Amino acid sequence: MRVLTSGTDRGLFPLASELAWQREAACRGLGIEESRAIFFPTPGKSIDEARTICGGCPVSEQCLSFALTNGCIGVWAGTTERQRFKLRRSQRRAGGIEISERPLDS
């Protein structure tokens, strides 16, 4: 993935062309408040609605890859931050993991 520097060298931002997959995402078009409630739930709230949306998404593999690469917060591709932490740790240990092997209930 190509990136542009932020100008402060503290962070990098993906080029818009690298995020074209987001136009096909099942969550595209949700309102800001609705997205926040679904994909950034308060502690103790269920992420079942997010998993339902992500379960039918045609770009969930790209979404998960993006979240793993960029250390995203919230629910991405139906996974929590904790699940992605475990996936990254597994990737480091095993040298890679197939996205279809991701745990959904851990």
Decide if 63 is inside a domain.
yes
Q: What is the spatial distance between Cα 6 and Cα 101, in angstroms, rounded to a whole number?
A: 34
For 27-50, how does the pLDDT look when each residue is reduced to its tens digit (9 = 90+)? Answer: 999 999 999 999 999 988 999 999
With respect to residue 58, please indicate whether it lies within any of the assigned structural domains: yes
pLDDT at 15: 67
- Assess if residue 5 is contained within a domain: no
What pTM value is reported for the model? 0.72
Domain contains 9: no
pLDDT at 40: 94
Of the listed ranges 57-66, 76-85, 90-99, the least confidently predicted one is 90-99
What value does the mean pLDDT of the chain take? 81
Q: Among 10-24, 37-51, 66-80, 89-103, whose mean pLDDT is lowest?
A: 89-103
Split into its structural domains, the chain has a count of 1
Nearest to 50 by CA among 59, 58, 42, 40: 40
Q: In angstroms, what CA-CA distances link 87 with 3, 9, 42, 48, 76? A: 23, 27, 23, 20, 13
Q: Is residue 65 one of the residues assigned to a domain?
A: yes
Residue 4's pLDDT is 42
Tell me whether residue 6 is in a domain. Answer: no
The answer to which of 1-5, 42-46, 94-98 has the lowest mean pLDDT is 1-5
C-alpha to C-alpha distance for 29 and 40, rounded to whole angstroms = 16
- Owning domain of residue 61: 19-101
